[in-house]
Amino acid sequence: MKLLLVVACALVDVDNRILIAQRPEGKSLAGLWEFPGGKVDPGESPEDALIRELKEELGVETRTACLAPLTFASHAYPEFHLLMPLYVCRRWSGIPESREGQALKWVRAKALRDYPMPPADEPLIAPLIELL
C-alpha cells in the first residue's frame, strides 16, 4: 500500500484557540474540517512543506523554529496509508485568510469535536486538549 506523507499544523493564537479549515467542494472529504497543511513534495522537508502550505492556503509566514512537533496520525484509507505529523505553531506573521475558498474558524481545543473531521484527524484532538 502507498504511504502518503501529509503535514498538518495547529495554529494557536494568544487565546489558545486553534485554526481549522473546511475542505472546499470539489476536494476529497469536502465539508470536513481539518488542520491546515498538505502533502510533502519529493525532496521537501516536512517543515518546508508546512511553511509552503501555510503561505499558499492562509497567507501566513512562519519558520521551522516556530513549528513544534506534537503528535502524528497514522490512518489506513482504502487507497493509501496516511502518515500525518501535527505541529503546533504559535508564532507567525500575517493574518490568516482564506486563499483557497476554504472556510476558517478559530475554536477552543475542547470544541474541536463539534466539527466533523476526516477520520485521520480525529485522534489529533486529544493531544491538543491536553496541551491547551
Among the residue ranges 11-19, 34-42, 91-99, 104-112, the one whose residues contact ligand C5P (CB under 6 A): 34-42
Quick one: 60 or 84, whose CB is closer to ligand C5P? Answer: 84
**Contact in structure between 3 and 77 (CB atoms under 8 Å):** no
- Please tell me whether residue 8 binds ligand C5P under the rule CB under 6 A: yes
Among 20, 47, 118, 128, the residue binding ligand C5P under the rule CB under 6 A is 118
Whether the CA torsion 48, 51, 53, 55 is positive or negative: it is negative
CA distance 17 to 15: 5
Among 54, 120, 125, 128, the residue binding ligand C5P under the rule CB under 6 A is 120
What minimum distance in Å lies between the beta carbon of 1 and ligand C5P? 13
Phi, psi of 98 (to 5 degrees): -75, 115
